[in-house]
Chain A
Amino acid sequence: MAEINPPAIKISNLSFHYNENSGVHFNDFNLTIFKGERFGLFGPNGAGKSTLMGLMTGLIKPKQGSVTLFNETIHSKSTRKLFGFVPQDFSLYDELSPAENLQFFGAWSGLTQKDISNRTTELLEILGLTDVKNKPVKTFSGGMKRRVNLAIGVIHQPRILFLDEPTVGVDIQTRHAIIEYLKQLNTEGMTLVYTSHQLAEAESLCNRVALMDHGKILACNEITHLLTSHKQENLESLFLHLTGKEFRN
């Protein structure tokens, strides 16, 4: 389905490692994510998921190779308008209200005052934050902060959205609301790149996944295809089958 679309993200011959003793080594790494995909990136701790996120968002510079978003190199300023990023940590100002956070990050994303006002009203409504739009974020619960975190990531309506464990530590209701909203965004044409340890959640959200470990992709395909080819019942058993049961640090 997705493969008929043009590439949204193309990683070619990428090499990167932090230091010689680091477990994460990317050597001649290649990956293509197509426009309109809901792509899941999974692996145990130390697999290199966050590093790969950093490389795809331009936060980390590769030693060799290239990362392009819609055929534009990630390190050009114009490319940064193409994507949104929802980091695992709350990437917002605690002292500000959701509306003030959206005003600031909207401006930094290149929006006009009118666009910011419209998008702020829309997003606060969708994510159920209208009633608390003027209260400082530091008074919010973890779930509310996650919703503000997500709203900031999508305020400029990016073509690609990177999500690093966007539902960690939230209740069932918030998780359900976030996943449904992400599906809606994807329906509207946004490409999603998602990492999480919540494999059941991933099964409901992603249409293609990559299982990786130590900076290498172990398997990459649609979930049903992977389960059939590896004779596994669900994503969790496939995960353990490919990455083993040993503890990871």
Chain B
Amino acid sequence: MFKLWCTIRKDAIILFRDKVGLLLMFVMPIILVLVITSIQNSTFELVNENKIPLLVCNKDTAHTSVEFIEALNQIGMFEITEVSNSLSTKSLKTLMHEKDALIAIVIPTTFSSSISKKTIDVSSKALQEFGLNEDTISKKTSLTQPLPIELIYNPVLQQSFLQSINGALTSAIQIIEGKKLVQQLYTTLNEKPMPENLQMEILQKNISIEEVPAAKDGSKTIPNATQHNVPAWTIFAMFFIVISLGGSIVKEKLSGSFVRLKTLPTSYLTALLSKQLTYLAVTLAQVFVIFSLGIWVFPYIGLPALNLPTDLFGLLIVSLLCGWAAISYAICIGTFAQTQEQANGFGAVSIVILAAVSGILVPSFAMPQSFAVVMKLSPLYWCLESYYGLFLERGSLRDILESTLPLLAFIIIIQGITLIGLKKKNLI
């Protein structure tokens, strides 16, 4: 124990005197988590809280187009600015740049008449299907397609964002078409206009949607950018100690001190155990610092605060496993690398790749199906799944066993490979 204690002391002194290494291990992930969470949070607010500037060029003079604009307003997603109906598409694009509008729509001159024509056609067809008297039907006719609304968008818009705008516009059109169709059917059947109160009754009593996160503890805390990013970038930070730890092992192997260590009556496994314990303390310190930042500092800079999981013991175990997996990986790299450049280069690039395929850089649900197997080979994926199980699904340690057990298996396998490597290199 005394040998181990002295080795831990030696490793800790060397670590704390390496200012650049400490900067990489603590400051870099703090900056990363701050920047990424802020960006994602502002995107989230842009989509969910801020209204999207929309220019409307209404070339139609009839009332239905005005109702359509009102319907768009009621959706609550857009900040509508009506522009002159004499503008050409080219002038409208210029105006979009001037007004920082991401999207513009051009309502064609035939919009109202097309809607009107379509509703008459559909109602006639419907009444024919019901077998009602020919007299009540104006005339038999086939359905015709109304002219399209032109949607002009800024090319920087992401496809998913554009799709949600498209969905909102389609929804507004459907509201108008539905309203007109009901009015038309009522007028045809009753030979008088539809009363206002009935119209309200039919059209406006929509079924509402309540959003319920599938939390295992039954809480209704809505996941946000902080809940997603703080655990994810903490894992990234933990695995990035490969630069410091992997490099330190190679440096020790190449230095003269290693030659002397091999002649002393102590196994090199003591040195490796010391490094594991020292760096495990470092990874736990990273968790503490970054999580504290999320809990106490984020609210002061306008970001959502981090909500810790209900199972704090589970959080400690998962953090220990994630840290141990990161350390095992770094030691394995340090054992097999011949130079510090190899350890640092391969270590850093491999962590970025493993982070990319694990869902830290890109959400795992957005990845192609072919990545499903590759993803599961990354230890960062199991770390992320374990943390998400606690932070987002609000589960307990028992609920996330299917994520933590593969992580434990990874640690055992990688430690085994390291031992074989050390044995082959005659280091133990």
Contact B259 A89 (CB under 8 A): yes
Interface locus among A36-44, A108-116, A202-210, A222-230: A108-116
Interface locus among A5-13, A19-27, A90-98: A90-98
Contact B260 A107 (CB under 8 A): no
Contact of A104 among B7, B18, B256 (CB under 8 A): B7
Q: How close is A158's CB to chain B, nearest CB, in angstroms?
A: 10
What band does the interface of chain A fall in when counting residues whose beta carbon is under 8 Å from B? 20 to 34
Contact B263 A80 (CB under 8 A): yes
Contact of A80 among B257, B265, B270, B426 (CB under 8 A): B265
A34 at the interface (CB under 8 A from B): no
Residues of B in contact (CB 8 Å), total 24
Could you say which of A77, A92, A104 has the most chain B C-beta atoms within 10 Å of its C-beta? A104
B13 at the interface (CB under 8 A from A): yes
Q: How far is it, in angstroms, between the C-alpha of A104 and the C-alpha of B2 when the chains are bound?
A: 10
Contact A112 B10 (CB under 8 A): no
Q: Mark B247-261, 1 if CB is under 8 A from A, else 0.
A: 000000001110111
A59 at the interface (CB under 8 A from B): yes
Q: How far is it, in angstroms, between the C-alpha of A96 and the C-alpha of B259 when the chains are bound?
A: 17
A85 at the interface (CB under 8 A from B): yes
Q: How far is it, in angstroms, between the C-alpha of A205 and the C-alpha of B313 when the chains are bound?
A: 65
Contact of A95 among B3, B13, B259 (CB under 8 A): B13
- On chain A, the residues within 8 Å of B18 by CB distance are 95
Q: How close is B107's CB to chain A, nearest CB, in angstroms?
A: 72
Could you say which of B5, B262, B264 has the most chain A C-beta atoms within 10 Å of its C-beta? B264
Besides A85-B263, A103-B6, A110-B266, 8 new A-B residue pairs in contact (Cβ under 8 A), listed by A number: A80-B265, A83-B263, A85-B259, A85-B260, A87-B260, A93-B255, A103-B9, A104-B9
Instruction: Name 9 A/B residue pairs within 8 A (Cβ), A-sorted.
Output: A58-B263, A83-B263, A87-B259, A91-B256, A92-B256, A93-B257, A106-B6, A110-B265, A136-B17
Interface on A for B, CB 8 Å cutoff? 57-59, 61, 77-78, 80-81, 83, 85, 87, 89-93, 95-96, 100, 103-110, 112-113, 136, 152-153
Task: For the complex of A and B, list the 7 residue pairs with the smallest distance between their C-beta atoms, beginning with the closest.
Answer: A89-B256, A107-B6, A91-B260, A91-B256, A80-B265, A104-B10, A108-B266
Interface on B for A, CB 8 Å cutoff? 2-3, 5-7, 9-10, 13-14, 17-18, 255-257, 259-266, 270, 426
